[in-house]
Each structure stands twice: as structure tokens, then as C-alpha cells.
Amino acid sequence: MTAVAVTESRCLTFEVAARCPETHARAGTLRLSHGTVHTPVFMPVGTQGAVKAASPRTLEELGAEMVLSNTYHLYLRPGHERIAALGGLHRFMGWSRPLLTDSGGYQVFSLGDNARVDDDGVRFVSHIDGSPHAFTPELSIAIQEALGADIAMVFDECLSYPATREVTRRSMERSVAWAARSKAAHTRETQALFGIVQGGFEADLRVQSAQATTALGFDGYAVGGLSVGEGRPLMLEMLEAVAPHLPEDAPRYLMGVGLPIDLVEAVARGFDMFDCVMPTRHARTGALFCGWGRIHIKNARFADDPGPIEPGCACYTCRTFSRAYLRHLFLAGEILAFELNTIHNLHHYLDRMARMRAAIAEGTFGAFRREALAQYHEETTHA
Amino acid sequence: MTAVAVTESRCLTFEVAARCPETHARAGTLRLSHGTVHTPVFMPVGTQGAVKAASPRTLEELGAEMVLSNTYHLYLRPGHERIAALGGLHRFMGWSRPLLTDSGGYQVFSLGDNARVDDDGVRFVSHIDGSPHAFTPELSIAIQEALGADIAMVFDECLSYPATREVTRRSMERSVAWAARSKAAHTRETQALFGIVQGGFEADLRVQSAQATTALGFDGYAVGGLSVGEGRPLMLEMLEAVAPHLPEDAPRYLMGVGLPIDLVEAVARGFDMFDCVMPTRHARTGALFCGWGRIHIKNARFADDPGPIEPGCACYTCRTFSRAYLRHLFLAGEILAFELNTIHNLHHYLDRMARMRAAIAEGTFGAFRREALAQYHEETTHA
């Protein structure tokens, strides 16, 4: 049942090594300038050039193969030209494996009233010091080339949710136009460039966006603008609408999603790459992933609990520390709590991805998914 | 020139392996219930059962052989009985090497108006929730026995600085009385107990305290109440007054001191054990040890500096990251800054101790000290 598809560019080779006989899930390898990534892959988020509370060697130990960083943040501080002068983002952040940078679109549009858009680009004021700035597709690409990640993303417009069909259509068309400008501006040969499918929650607009983006031709294809409050069923409906219109032989990246169960469902629909702040952000609030749900470590019932966060977990935190200790650290405001919680949550995500890859390779992903969904529903029903 | 002295109790063996021919410096081994410590030793401080921003495995990698934790803090939160029920402090904090607990005296007296002392002990209110508590020598020992560190400390009164001679004398006598009660209360056979010399800045009172404490008989002897604002010369004068009145064959512990150059000077006066929050606390404010002084990483002159914190330093932080990156992390408020800065500062301290031990063993400590003092004075003169 294994089909092999290979897409190859100057700087990206994607090979599908195994396919699930029941779903659209696939496992493969993504060869990039800084190394090989096994898909489906989860990328921890290093917004400001650092994954919060996780050093590069911790990430390597956890088996992270690729990290995402943010163009908007690094442009404002410390500045992309400074990073380039210091040898590029890999050297700057001490991470030798593949990197992906987003385009800055999502962050800029998150500024709300502090961002104004027209067909040329977006004017905005810095969240750090209120200084005025403007992003265009060309500038976003120039910044990303200076940072030098393995994969850059086109500059796209991210809609607020909900939006009318007409607003969604115009925004989608603008993103397609910006994708064309991004591609025209991109020259760095060691860097792949991904297109981004937009179109809100209008399935036909998503399909139009996918077709137009594919027609432009990119090294891989992302789906953006999801997980913004629409709920899992509608999100999955959009993935199902888009996936058939993306090339089989190129990597597919679902941006900014989500819970572990979301990743299972997106993998089942043929997606290969993921990023989300959820494991690291939840770690800092004491929400620790366990089973297909999570526990809140500050809960009084853990005060005398000698067990690990998650029974059977092989991470350093679970091998070494009790829930009672981690609760103590969290309540005492110890910085170490952030580090130890982050280790567990990232391990949980990366371990889930490894299990999915193994299940796809063994032809058992269908069963893995059914079991995950059943456990997830049981846990959330009784929570 | 090497003399060997051995003191042995149920739970502590101290062996001096080498002595400096020029100074009173000595190098040796301290065998405790949880392992062997090489002296002179620096103990990182884990106030609340965790060294701030440093995991146990990081401490092990840095070569830390012993950690200090605080009776006052652990008594209040999470509670010594809870820690005992969870298997003791070693297991609770995931640290298998030797531990020392202070007696809580220093913290209680730091509460100022929130603490009231009489001959029986100290009544105080919690800094966490304002609840009323009382420490006596007997309770301090009971808490420390429940925590189960390798070394416990007698409960002592810590003076505010400055204090009159009469207040100092009465306080010193009270501490001696409390030392006797602490010793009488102490029963845990796997735990050593150290006396503490007080006496403010009155050399003769320090000598009286040392003689009285030695007469009581402990596994080791600490000097407390120094580095409270008196300046280095007066502190060293007190050490010189006290040292001849402490047994040659027992470990000597200078509590809560200080800068690396202070440690050199105290080692030269025959002290073997040290703790201080300085390396970890400074790390969190961006003050990073370099040479015999320190740099402030947020300084604008480091914005484009590709070099490590300290040239030649072998720590993970210096091997991997530039000053420019560490400055960025610090200004961006990244938690990782605390971890990486802490690694460097602790490495700096522990490496200085290792160099002192090697110099004593090789008979070159006198030259090491002269060079350190010369560099320190040059750096501080030009700073």
C-alpha cells in the first residue's frame, strides 16, 4: 500500500515513505538545508528566537527536528540585519537543525486597530515601543532571507473571525496577489518558500485559494487562518475541502494548530507539518498534558501525589519529579517550574508525533486514531 | 608539606589531603551520607527546594557536589512533614548528592519587625500569608531531621547590622545556649550537625563564641553573621580571629559569602565550605561573572558582540551563545535568559573552586591568590 512521491527543489526534498490504508495520513522525510525532518512533524515555537523555557540542547534531547520563529518579533527586536550580521538565525539562537519563519502576517493582523492594510501591505505600530512600521510582501521576504531559515512563508492577510463572505473573498484574493509578489521577491537559493491557503470558512473560497496558490507553484503549501474560534468540526471541514486541491507530492502545513487530538485529525486528512504555542504556553500556566487531556498542576489534589505528571512518560521531568514537587515549584513561583513543565509538554507533543509516524509506517494509524478519539471523548466527557 | 587530619563521626568524615605552604588554605574530602564532596566547596542555594533556574541534572553537569536549602521556606511551603512523607528532601527535589539545610534563623531574623525573639525562640509571621509561627532550636532541628539533609545547622540568632557591643554579646550568648539545645535535640544518625560562631564584629566575642561552640562539640563549624554590610577587610579580620579557635580537623563553613574574590580570601584563611545566592541572583538580573568582576548583559555595547560571556569559559552557555543573543533574550524577557545566565554564573563559581582545589593540591595556591587579587583590583579600578 506504500506509495512514494518525491518533490524536489533546490533546497527541499519531500519523500512519502508510507501511507495509511484507511485515511489520508502519510509519513515521510523532508530534506532541508539544515537536515532531515521526519513527517508528520511538530515544530515548537520560538517566537523571539528562543523556544520559551527550552534551550536548544533540551529541544534536541526531546527529539525536536525543526523549530518555528517569528519574522515580526525578530524584525522589531533585535532586528533581522543584526541577526544576519551575526551569522543568521541558526547561529544566533544556537540551533543547528531546520528552522521555519512565518511571514509576520499573523502577528501584524493580531495588532487589531494598530494595523492598517491596503493592497500594498500593512502599516502598523510596534507592540514594544509604538514606533511606526510597514510590511509588504517584499519586505517580509527580505527579512526572512536575512534570517535564513530553511523554509520561509509568503506574506498573507489574516482575517479576524468571524468575517462576511465578501470580506473573506477580497482578503483571500489579496493573499493570492501577495503570494505572487512574495514568490517574485524570493531569491535565496538555500531557502524553500511555502504558499498559504486562506479563504476563511467558505469551502469554495478555500478551494479557489488552493488552486491559485498551487498554480503559482511553491515548495510546500500551508493552510492558514484556522483554529481562530471556529471549533474543530468546521476546521476539519476546511482541511477536507482544501487537501484534494494541494499537490500530493508537496508537504502540507497546518499553521498554528492545536491540541494533540487536532494533530491526529489533521494527519488523518493528509497534513504533514504543524506548529503551536499550546504546549509551551500551557506549561507556563501549569496545564500539563496527560492522556489526551491535561491536568492543572496547582490543583490541591496533587499536593501529596508522589507520581509523575503522566504515568509511563519517559521525559526527564516525569522520570525525576513528582506531581507534589511540581505543584510546589509552580505555587512557589520557581523559574524551574517553567522549564520542567515545558519539557513534559513538548515531550508529550513530540512523542505523539513519533507514535503517529510509527503507526503510519506499520499500517495501524487507523486503529491509533480510533483509540485516540475514543480516549479523548471519554476524558473530556468525564472532565 | 601535606598534613592529613581526619575527623570522623557517624555520618561525616573530613580528610585534609593538601595544605597551602603560604596560607591556611587546605583541600580535602568531606564524606557524607549521600556522597563525597571535595573541599573547598561552593554550594548553590536552593531556597525553596530548587536552585533557581537550574535543574538537578544541570547542577550535576556543572559539577555541583552539594546544595543548600532553607528550613524556613520549606517549613512554610510545602511543609516539612509533607516532604518527609514523600521520602525526604533529596527525593522531593530530585537531588541525590549531599544537601545542607540552614536552621531558619537567618530568614526569621530577616523578617525584621515581623519577628520577636526571647530566650525560648522566635515568634514570626509568614511572609507568604501572614500566619503566626514560632521557631525554637528544638523545632528547627525537628524540621531539619524531617527534611533529612546530610548536614543540619544549629538554630542561631542573627543580629541586625550594626549592633552595640552589649547587644552583640547577649545575642552571641543566646546563640551558644541555642546551639546546646540544638545539639541535645538532634538524634538523626545519618545527619551531621554543625555549630555556628556568632559575635558580630567584636573579635573577642567571636573568639568566645568559637571556644564555647567548640566545647559543645559538633561535626563541623560555621561562621555566621558576616557579609552584612561591614566590608571585606572587617569580614576577613573576623575570619582571622575565629579560625585559630576552630578544630583543625573539622570542616569550616563560611555562611552566605560572597563574591569569588571573597571565596579566595576565605579559603586562604582556612575555610572549606561556602554558599551564596549571588551567582544565581545576579544571573537573573543580567549580571554575569567574567574575570574577577562581572558584565551587565543588557549593556548596549553587547548588542552586536559575537563573543561568549567570558572568553575561554567551557560552560554550555559560553560554548553556544553570543553576548548579542543573551542580551536579546534578557531584553525580550525570555525565561531562557535566566537558565542560560544561571548556568554561566554557577559554572564560574564552581570552576573557581575547582581551580583553587587544584592550586592547593599543587602547592601553587599562594600564586593563584596573588594573581586573583591583582586582577580583581585592576578590574575594579578600571570598572
Residues of chain A in contact with residue B303, where contact means CB-CB under 8 angstroms, are 78, 82
**How confident is the model at residue B321, as a pLDDT?**
98
Task: State how far the alpha carbon of B351 is from the alpha carbons of B98, B247, B289, B347, in Å.
Answer: 19, 28, 12, 6
* Res. A45: pLDDT tops 50: yes
Residue A236 and residue A242 in contact, taking contact as beta carbons nearer than 8 Å? no
Nearest CA in chain A to B300: A78
* Res. B2: pLDDT tops 80: no
- Among candidate residues B156, B144, B145, the one with its CA nearest the CA of residue B180: B156
**Is B51–A336 a contact, with Cβ atoms under 8 angstroms apart?**
yes
Q: What is the dihedral of CA A347, A350, A356, A360, to 10 degrees?
A: -130
CA distance A53 to A99: 18
Residues of chain A in contact with residue B56, where contact means CB-CB under 8 angstroms, are 320
**Confidence bin at A10 (pLDDT 50/70/90):** confident
Q: Please tell me which of the candidates A53, A86, A322 has its beta carbon nearest to residue B336.
A: A53
**How confident is the model at residue B10, as a pLDDT?**
75
Contacts of A129 by beta carbon, 8 Å cutoff, 6+ apart: none
Q: Could you tell me the three cell numbers for B107?
A: 530568614
Residue B209 and residue B170 in contact, taking contact as beta carbons nearer than 8 Å? no
Cα angle B272, B275, B279 (rounded to 5 degrees) comes to 125
Using a 10 angstrom Cβ sphere, with 0-12 exposed, 13-18 middle and 19 or more buried, the burial of residue A147 is buried
CA distance B380 to B383: 5
Residue A302 and residue A57 in contact, taking contact as beta carbons nearer than 8 Å? no
pLDDT digits (tens, 9 = 90+) for A54-64: 999 999 999 99
**Is A77–B332 a contact, with Cβ atoms under 8 angstroms apart?**
yes
Number of residues written out for chain A: 383
Lowest mean pLDDT among A8-22, A36-50, A244-258, B72-86: A8-22
Q: What is the mean pLDDT of residues B4-29?
A: 89
Supply the DSSP symbol for A115. Answer: E
Closest chain B C-alpha to A315 CA, distance in angstroms: 13
**Confidence bin at B173 (pLDDT 50/70/90):** very high
The strand pair at B115-117 and B122-125 is best described as: antiparallel
Contacts of A370 by beta carbon, 8 Å cutoff, 6+ apart: none
Share of chain A above pLDDT 90, in %: 92
Q: Could you tell me the three cell numbers for B81?
A: 512533614
Residues of chain B in contact with residue A56, where contact means CB-CB under 8 angstroms, are 320
DSSP class per residue in B9-67: -SS-EEEEEEE-SSSS-EEEEEEETTEEEEESEEE-EETTSS-TT--HHHHHHTT---E
**H-run or E-run covering A352:** helix A335-362
Contacts of A75 by beta carbon, 8 Å cutoff, 6+ apart: A104, A133, A143
**Is B50–A92 a contact, with Cβ atoms under 8 angstroms apart?**
no
Task: State how far the alpha carbon of A289 is from the alpha carbons of A208, A327, A347, B219, in Å.
Answer: 37, 14, 10, 47
Residues of chain A in contact with residue B51, where contact means CB-CB under 8 angstroms, are 336
The strand pair at B115-117 and B99-101 is best described as: unpaired
Cross-sheet strand order for the sheet of B26-32: B6-8, B13-19, B26-32, B35-39
Contacts of B382 by beta carbon, 8 Å cutoff, 6+ apart: none
Residues of chain B in contact with residue A59, where contact means CB-CB under 8 angstroms, are none
Q: Give the type of residue at B172.
A: M
pLDDT digits (tens, 9 = 90+) for A84-131: 999 999 999 999 999 999 999 888 888 888 899 999 999 999 999 999
Q: Catalytic residue among B219, B262, B272, B275, which?
A: B275
A79 touches chain B (CB under 8 A): no
**Is A304–B85 a contact, with Cβ atoms under 8 angstroms apart?**
yes
pLDDT digits (tens, 9 = 90+) for B279-327: 999 999 999 999 999 999 999 999 999 999 999 999 999 999 999 999 9
CA distance A347 to A309: 12
pLDDT digits (tens, 9 = 90+) for B19-68: 999 999 999 999 999 999 999 999 999 999 999 999 999 999 999 999 99
Q: Could you tell me the three cell numbers for A206?
A: 478555500
**How confident is the model at residue B383, as a pLDDT?**
53
Supply the DSSP symbol for A163. Answer: -
**Is A320–B94 a contact, with Cβ atoms under 8 angstroms apart?**
yes
* Res. B210: pLDDT tops 80: yes
B126 touches chain A (CB under 8 A): no
Closest chain B C-alpha to A60 CA, distance in angstroms: 14
Residue whose C-alpha cell reads 532550636 in the numeric block: B137
Q: Count CA atoms closer than 13 A to A124's CA, side-chain side.
A: 24
Q: Give the type of residue at B29.
A: T
Active-site residue flag, A102: yes
Lowest mean pLDDT among A90-99, A312-321, B107-116, B354-363: B107-116
Q: Could you tell me the three cell numbers for A371?
A: 483509540
Active-site residue flag, B102: yes
B129 touches chain A (CB under 8 A): no
**Is B78–A340 a contact, with Cβ atoms under 8 angstroms apart?**
no
- Among candidate residues B287, B269, B268, the one with its CA nearest the CA of residue B359: B268
B321 touches chain A (CB under 8 A): yes
Ranges of H-type helices in A62-199: 71-76, 80-85, 89-93, 105-110, 137-147, 165-185
